[in-house]
Amino acid sequence: LNDNASQYIVKLSGTLRSPKMDFHPPFLMLMPVPLDVETESDITIIPQNFIRQSRITVKLPELELADGTRTCPFSVQFPEGQDIVLSSDGTTNELTCRISFKSSKPMSFLGEMLFIDQEEN
């Protein structure tokens, strides 16, 4: 610097945090209902460590009934949108997800729904 031929070494270090989502409540139990009656509940998705805006999608389980037919009795809505948005201070918005269940045949289910960002995380 300033025509000085000395060499300078700059060492940089950092930590890369993978994006993740927390859920409140961490699991969901929908109430039993009569056939063809819809039950629903809301969960809150809390995004963490996202460095850019992302859109959340959901892979819903397809269930096989006793007679061999396959069905997906679940539906998902995001009443306030499904985009993770970063604010100027680096925080992200929480998302509300409404999960509904309706079936014309008797069934019970214990399993997972997969919430995915647009980079397949």
For 55-65, how does the pLDDT look when each residue is reduced to its tens digit (9 = 90+)? 999 999 988 88
Please return the burial class of 30, using the count of CB atoms within 10 Å of its CB with bins 0-12, 13-18 and 19+. Answer: middle
- Contact between 71 and 62 (Cβ < 8 Å): yes
pTM: 0.78
Q: What is the DSSP string of 48-72?
A: ES--S-EE-EEEPPPEE-TTS-EE-
For 73-89, how does the pLDDT look when each residue is reduced to its tens digit (9 = 90+)? 999 999 999 999 888 77
Q: CATH number of 20-116: 2.115.10, 2.60.40, 2.30.30, 3.40.1350?
A: 2.60.40
> What letter does residue 118 receive in the DSSP assignment?
T
48: region left, alpha or beta (phi > 0 left; psi from -120 to 50 alpha): beta
